[in-house]
Structure 1
Amino acid sequence: MSEPSKSNGQAPIDGIRRVDALGHPWVDALAGRASAVGFSCPTVIDAISQSAHVYLGDASAALDIADNQVADNKAADDEPTELASALASLLESSGNSDSIAADSLLLFPAADLAIEAMIAFARKRNSEASYRTIAIAGSDHGRTALCRSASGQPHLHSGFGPMVAGFDHVKPNDLKALEAAIDDSTASVLLSPVNLANGARSIDGDYLRGVRQLCDQHDLVLLMDEARLCFGATGSCFTFASLADVAVDGIVVAGGLFAGLPGGMLIASERLTGRPIHQSTDYPIQSNVVTAMLQALGRLELPGAASELGQEFAVAVAEAIAGFEFIRDIHVTGMTLGIETDLAAAEIVSVAATNGLRIEASGEAAILLQPSLNLSPEDRESLLSLLLETMNAIEQRSKDLAV
């Protein structure tokens, strides 16, 4: 292992520790979403450095999906790449080969574009008869026009005029509502296994199994959006695989794989894409970084080891904040933790920031933690210490206001 890198002579950037543009040190409790193996991974640093000496692609080129094929101006790779091989190897070693038939792998310069492509494939699969996608009320699938339309949150629609047609939204964990929404125009069901906009609550495993059965009965494709979840955070490569033993037809992953760079990866079965497609060489820096990240995960015996680490981390967080009356609940899905409170999430995030702790709101009254999978004991203690410091400051502020 090389020494942790430094920024402008400031504190080391390593694990979940980093500095901002002004040189201020942070403990980043969302570091796993940038890098599954933490900041300053030598393999990933080398991948970025080596990419600087080659053609970096054309992110402005059109990304149309035409006739169930990648458009002519985005020609597919002739054969599986090093990235595809690294993914296949990790899926096999982690026991996730049955979670999806990874016949196709497509890399995009943004996660939203990967989600758009996944939905486009579903629409084109049988466009003469079916095109609609059923998504979940309260979901968040991104910020492009199509992704906003797929999202089930009114505030993501408000002020943008008419949404893209072809989306229905049903209550989460309600199979009867889902079944009632299916008709001859339905092409797919789009899920996220954890709702990061609502306390990081996970969907029910029985519900997920029921959705798969309905998709099979009605010849629909099951699409999974894990773009903002850290790859491997539950001990499985995919979060949904830790909730239910089902297979999906397409999944978008991004969190933890791109080292903070923009990007998204669509993994799909031939049932969704119509034929095997491998398209990853158009974006060399993203391809090299994701390949390096997957290889680093394998060397660290991840994601398997993340399961036990996640349990230990959740217990430590619960014990640290158990004494605060404004804590209501903790939702745990591997290394993804949502903490529900009686307070405004924005206030907690603000106080945490003054202490050098980066967290994020997960709804109006919950906060989100997504640390890297190989969280060290030292980094865990630093995170817990700052979290406790934050909660104490909030409690004291509440007491002062009550006087």
Structure 2
Amino acid sequence: MRILIVHNRYQRMGGEDTVVQMERVALVNAGHDVSIFEVTNDDIFGFTQKLCVAVKVSGSSTFEGAFMNAVRDFNPDIVHIHNFFPLLSPRVHLWARSIGVGVVQTLHNFRLICGAGTFLRDGAICEKCLDGSSLNGVRHACYRESRLGSLSVLSFQRATRFSDKWLGSVDRFICLTEFARQKFVRAGLPERRVVVKPNFVVDSKLWDPAVSRNGRVLFVGRLTVEKGVVDYLRVAKELPEVSFDIIGDGPEINWIANNKSKNVTLHGWKSPDAVSAALGNASLLVLPSRWYEGFPMTLVEAMSVGTPIVASDLGAMSEILRGRNFAKLFPVGNIMKMRDCILDVLGDCSGAKFLAAREEYLECYSEGVNVRQLERIYFDALGSGL
């Protein structure tokens, strides 16, 4: 199958960019002919350029001609679009559909239905734009604390979520969890064409059931309040006899360095290989997020090396981990419950939970499983007839 991947890269490389690259490599490994059309936000600087982007985001795009040429040159069976905000317009879907190409759209975040893309405002869950007017996003300046930027998102939403023509141009929408799927269907996306396919990680080959764990608790992620890192520090103070590690960078790093207890080691940013090694040695990963999350890659990375998990009972984390014997869930922000979950996992000396985590990865989140899911979606898109 010939697949053209389309993606608007971010200025600061994140999980979506990584997923796009991993899917491309996985499809090539499976024997597909894959090309990628990418634009980048790196060239957006200053107020004037941001204003131009805000004005154009729902209409014609500077990159449309290049995209059309890429489609004509490659002649794909499927155009698979990932992020297309803000430099690619919704017209790319319409044009691809008009020439008979199968169109697939992955919804990595909630930007179609939430100005912030996260359902988070002022540190708390907010669904005002889902249940009420999308003008709420502009009123609260939800996109990067800018009303101008939020207005561009509203324009983008009106050209996508609120456009029957655009909705009709997409053969399949991919959500990362059933939780996310329900949000998008509730927002008006056509239920029959919204499917679930989780992300995956490439096997690091570090799994070794004979390796003894180091007895340490690990946090991996961006150091922001919504990721729950402050709650993680609070629980560390409740367990002075346990060693806690933090890997990551972000706006709260200086505050963390100045306020952490002695049993917490702040490592800062680490390479992906170093993160995998740390996960493989840790006795436990903690993900105390205060927002829904899209699809936390650290959960799957932990499973791939057989590491148990304690996480907030919220959104994607609840769906991925509920009922799994290698994981414990606690109410969001409840420090005492988080403490109890950590102690329960650390106190279980059997190896069953490590093996169960690894088996979950192999059955649900490995490269081969994910490619087969993606192939089925592509074949369904080609035969959909909408």
Work out whether the TM-score is over 0.5. no
Q: Which has the higher helix share?
A: 2
Ranked by relative contact order (alpha carbons within 8 Å, sequence separation 6 or more), the top structure is 1
The two structures have a TM-score, normalised by structure 1, of: 0.30
Query: What TM-score, normalized by structure 2, do the two folds share?
Result: 0.31
